[in-house]
């Protein structure tokens, strides 16, 4: 089987992290986001993976090529001259995707869950439809594509409404699909949306089914959701592979993932819901909760860090406090005793005055 991951553009909604690292390579649970998907596709028997991007992918190519051997897959980069939307990239990669008649997995690159690809393939085969969408339920469906079922045929989709203005239901498109190669024939070679243009054609043909996802799901393309998604991921990991999590005495409340190379002072208090990356240093008496500390960052003595993403190589000073979905880009410094609430701080900045309200610091 084959898979295409819609990687897209610069990931502007995840700035300032994506100012220095392409979104798919930003670490989620201490691994590049896209590796979770590549690994799951490979485990389901996918041999060819196309990454659809609309910028120069050099960094990604050099980072990801080495995983071809690890997972036994061929990774190709399909580069768009102009953004082709969510359907156009399938047409552009037609040669690879239609090389045989096995179905094609299509993934939005910003969604995390326990990708049920084997089950999805089996479901798809059983229903004999041209396409199957993975569905999940959310409380706020207006930011997503909403699925309405046919009242008489189980799992058959009767209506697909992208970003509905009025409430039509709360079962949404989880951004994961399986398509027969024939679906590519419905797509024209131009910027076009699978949600707005291709799905309606399939609905009309009664060829679009949905498969209900079990467990957690989150679109982690924005900082707030990145942190919420991290909590969900850690909770699932606690149930599935508790041995991967940290149980040192300085952990409180569980759900703490720490890279073995990190140095944590035994008097620090960490958790719940914290990810600490490689070579991170956490000082004496520091308190960290609901946060992600990316590689080579430092949290100095007695700092208090909550709901914060600390970018690579950044430093939080002694007695400093950060909270409110603060995101520090690469190489940011928060000086000693400073308070930061809800700031997005661009790379290489040094903060020496309190930031009390949501703001972007350039
Ligand atoms: N290659 C390429 N080219 N990829 C693109 C382009 C493009 O022009 N435009 C968007 N993408 C990628 C994005 O990077 C992302 O991985 C995916 O396509 C979906 O785009 P988003 O911009 O993240 O869309 P969304 O989150 O508002 O909505 C989509 O995802 C929801 C689930 O999170 C839709 O598919 C909704 O129906 C769905 O519910
Ligand atoms: Mg998205």
% of the chain beyond a pLDDT of 90: 89
Q: Are residues 135 and 101 in the same domain?
A: yes
Q: Are residues 158 and 141 in the same domain?
A: yes
Q: Are residues 252 and 146 in the same domain?
A: no
Residue 340 · residue 355 · CB < 8 Å:
yes
**Given this model, what pLDDT does residue 303 score?**
98
Answer with the one of 202, 219, 236 that is the final residue of a domain: 219
Q: What is the pLDDT of residues 278-311, one digit of tens each?
A: 999 999 999 999 999 999 999 999 999 999 999 9
Q: Which atom of ligand 1 is nearest to the CA of 110?
A: 16
Name residue 219's beta-bridge partners: 111
Pocket-testing residue among 160, 175, 216, 219, ligand 1, by greatest number of atoms within 8 A of Cβ: 175
How does pLDDT run along the chain (362 residues), one tens digit per residue?
A: 999 999 987 778 899 999 999 888 999 999 999 999 999 999 999 999 999 998 777 888 888 888 999 999 999 999 999 999 999 999 999 999 999 999 999 999 999 999 999 999 999 999 999 999 999 999 999 999 999 998 898 899 999 999 999 999 999 999 999 999 999 999 999 999 999 999 999 999 999 999 999 999 999 999 999 999 999 999 999 999 999 999 889 999 999 999 999 999 999 999 999 999 999 999 999 999 999 999 999 999 999 999 999 999 999 999 999 999 999 999 999 999 999 999 999 999 999 999 999 999 88
Q: Are residues 172 and 287 in the same domain?
A: no
Pocket around ligand 1: residues whose beta carbon is below 6 Å from it? 6-8, 52-54, 80, 83-86, 89, 108-111, 144-145, 162, 172-173, 175, 195, 219, 221
Q: Are residues 23 and 168 in the same domain?
A: yes
User: 111 — phi, psi (to 5°)?
Assistant: -105, 140
Q: One of 125, 137, 163, 224 is an active-site residue; which one?
A: 163
Q: Which two tokens stand for residue 5?
A: 């991951």
% of the chain beyond a pLDDT of 70: 100
Q: Are residues 337 and 202 in the same domain?
A: no
Q: Which atom of ligand 1 is nearest to the CA of 7?
A: 14
Among the bound ligands, the one closest to the CA of 90: 1
Total domains, the chain? 2
Q: Are residues 211 and 269 in the same domain?
A: no
Residue 215 · residue 111 · CB < 8 Å:
no
Answer with the one of 219, 247, 275 that is the final residue of a domain: 219
Walk across the sheet containing 263-264 and list its strands: 263-264, 281-282, 298-299, 315-316, 333-334, 350-351
Q: Are residues 98 and 168 in the same domain?
A: yes
- What is the Cα gyration radius of the chain? 21
> CATH code at 329?
2.160.10.10
Domain residue limits at 286: 223-361
Q: What is the pLDDT of residues 107-133, one digit of tens each?
A: 999 999 999 999 999 999 999 999 999
Residues around ion ligand 2, judged by CB within 5 A, are: 110, 219, 221
Distance CA 33, CA 16 (A): 16
Among the bound ligands, the one closest to the CA of 55: 1
The rounded Å distance from CA 360 to ligand 2 centre is 22
Q: Does the annotation mark 163 as catalytic?
A: yes
Answer with the one of 219, 244, 279 that is the final residue of a domain: 219
| Nearest residue to 276 (alpha-carbon basis) of 318, 305, 253, 241 | 305
Q: Are residues 137 and 281 in the same domain?
A: no
User: 355 — phi, psi (to 5°)?
Assistant: -120, 110
Q: Whose CA is nearest to atom 30 of ligand 1?
A: 175
Q: Which residue is listed with tokens 């952990």?
A: 251
**Given this model, what pLDDT does residue 189 score?**
95
Q: Are residues 176 and 262 in the same domain?
A: no
Residues 6+ apart with CB under 8 A from 55: 9, 10, 22, 79
Distance CA 355, CA 205 (A): 55
Q: Which residue is listed with tokens 């409340």?
A: 253
| Nearest residue to 177 (alpha-carbon basis) of 80, 111, 78, 92 | 111
> CATH code at 158?
3.90.550.10
Q: Are residues 27 and 47 in the same domain?
A: yes
Q: Are residues 235 and 169 in the same domain?
A: no
């Amino acid at each position: 089987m084959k898979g295409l991951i819609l990687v897209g553009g610069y990931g502007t909604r995840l700035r300032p992290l994506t100012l220095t690292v392409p979104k798919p390579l930003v670490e989620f649970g201490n691994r590049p986001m896209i590796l979770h998907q590549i690994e799951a596709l490979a485990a389901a028997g996918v041999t060819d993976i196309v990454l659809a991007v609309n910028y120069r992918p050099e960094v990604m190519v050099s980072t990801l090529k080495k995983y071809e051997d690890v997972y036994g897959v061929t990774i190709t980069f399909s580069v768009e001259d102009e953004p082709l939307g969510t359907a156009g990239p399938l047409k552009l990669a037609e040669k690879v995707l239609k090389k045989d008649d096995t179905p094609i997995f299509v993934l939005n690159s910003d969604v995390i869950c326990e990708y049920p690809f084997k089950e999805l393939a089996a479901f798809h085969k059983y229903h004999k439809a041209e396409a199957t969408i993975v569905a999940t339920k959310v409380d706020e469906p207006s930011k997503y594509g909403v699925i309405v079922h046919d009242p008489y045929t189980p799992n058959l989709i009767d209506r697909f409404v992208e970003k509905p203005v009025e409430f039509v239901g709360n079962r949404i498109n989880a951004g994961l699909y399986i398509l027969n190669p024939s679906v590519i024939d419905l797509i024209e070679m131009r910027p076009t949306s699978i949600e707005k243009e291709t799905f309606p054609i399939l609905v009309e043909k009664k060829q679009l089914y949905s498969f209900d996802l079990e467990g957690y799901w989150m679109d982690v393309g924005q900082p707030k959701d990145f942190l919420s998604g991290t909590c969900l991921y850690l909770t699932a990991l606690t149930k599935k592979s508790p041995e991967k999590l940290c149980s040192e005495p300085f952990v409180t409340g569980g759900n703490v993932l720490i890279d073995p190379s990190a140095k944590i002072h035994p008097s620090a208090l960490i958790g719940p819901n914290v990810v600490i990356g490689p070579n991170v240093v956490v000082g004496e008496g520091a308190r960290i909760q609901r946060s992600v500390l990316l590689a080579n960052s430092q949290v100095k003595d007695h700092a208090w860090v909550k709901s914060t993403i600390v970018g690579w190589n950044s430093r939080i000073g002694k007695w400093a406090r950060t909270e409110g979905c603060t995101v520090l880009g690469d190489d940011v410094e928060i000086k000693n005793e400073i308070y930061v609430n809800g700031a997005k701080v661009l790379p290489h900045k040094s903060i020496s005055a309190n930031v009390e309200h949501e703001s972007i610091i350039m």
